[in-house]
């Protein structure tokens, strides 16, 4: 035990030094949200992003990807008493609304029990499914789906 505590200050010092140097290296790259602007200047307001209009289902890029939402969802409410999404996507309603029906995985509880309705872990749809805006990607992405699962 003794020899350990003797080493501690040295380790600590090294740690602090390491952090400090890492910080000075990062300081150049990291910007606050307001950018490089001086505190007295007003930053330029970025273009407002808009949600895409309703369209066809979007291609899926990999197996088990939660599909993206290809339509507007303004004003759709999900409360403990009613789920607007399910008024079109449930097995009872999907045909009438020409929507994709939720898959069986949505009925499974975390213990693997298949329930009669959407399980709590899948009830809040927007945790996994998101609509798209006209925003361009912030970083380049070179991902390409495997030919065999690509939905093109």
Partner 1 sequence: MAKRNIAIGTLLVGIVLGIILWGGFNWAMELTNTEQFCISCHEMRDNVYQEYKGRIHDLNRTGVRATCPDCHVPKEWIYKVKRKIQASNELFHKVMGSIDTREKFEAKRLELARHVWKAMKETDSRECRNCHEYGSMDYMAQGRRARREHQEGLEAGKTCIDCHKGIAHQLPDMAEEDPSAVLAVHPEDKGTE
The reply on whether position 48 binds partner 1 by CB under 8 A is no
Measured between alpha carbons, how far is 78 from 30 in angstroms, rounded to an integer? 38
Using the contact rule CB under 8 A, the part of the chain among 14-22, 27-35, 53-61, 137-145 near partner 1 is 53-61
- Among 55, 138, 142, 144, the residue binding partner 1 under the rule CB under 8 A is 55
What are the residues whose beta carbons fall under 8 Å from the beta carbon of 83, sequence distance 6 or more? 118, 123, 125
Taking a C-beta distance cutoff of 8 angstroms, is the pair 41, 99 a contact? no
Which residues of this chain interact with ligand HEC, rule CB under 6 A? 56-57, 64, 66-67, 69-71, 73-76, 83-89, 97-100, 102-103, 105-106, 118, 121-129
User: Tokens 């300081």, residue?
Assistant: 27
- Compute the least distance from the CB of residue 144 to ligand HEC, in Å: 19
Taking a C-beta distance cutoff of 8 angstroms, is the pair 33, 44 a contact? no
Pattern 112-151, partner 1, x by CB under 8 A: -x-xxxxxx--x----------------------------
Measured between alpha carbons, how far is 3 from 9 in angstroms, rounded to an integer? 11
Helix runs in 53-100, H state only = 86-89
User: Taking CB within 5 to 8 Å according to partner kind, which of partner 1, ligand HEC, none is near residue 67?
Assistant: ligand HEC
What are the residues whose beta carbons fall under 8 Å from the beta carbon of 35, sequence distance 6 or more? 43
Nearer residue to ligand HEC within complex by CB, 31 or 62 = 62
Binding site for partner 1 (CB under 8 A): 53-56, 71-72, 74-75, 77, 79-84, 86-87, 90-93, 97-98, 107, 109, 113, 115-120, 123
């Amino acid at each position: 035990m003794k020899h350990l505590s003797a080493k501690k200050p040295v380790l600590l010092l090294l740690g602090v030094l390491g952090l400090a140097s890492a910080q000075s290296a990062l300081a150049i790259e990291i910007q606050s949200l307001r950018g490089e602007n001086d505190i007295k200047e007003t930053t330029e307001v970025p273009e407002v992003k808009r949600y895409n209009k309703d369209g066809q289902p979007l291609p899926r890029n990999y197996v088990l990807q939660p599909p993206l939402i290809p339509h507007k969802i303004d004003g759709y409410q999900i409360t403990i008493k009613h789920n607007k999404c399910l008024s079109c996507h449930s097995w009872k309603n999907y045909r009438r609304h020409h929507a994709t029906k939720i898959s069986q995985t949505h009925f499974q509880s975390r213990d693997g029990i298949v329930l009669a309705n959407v399980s709590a872990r899948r009830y809040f749809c927007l945790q996994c499914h998101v609509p798209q805006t006209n925003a361009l990607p912030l970083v380049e992405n070179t991902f390409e789906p495997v030919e065999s699962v690509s939905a093109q």
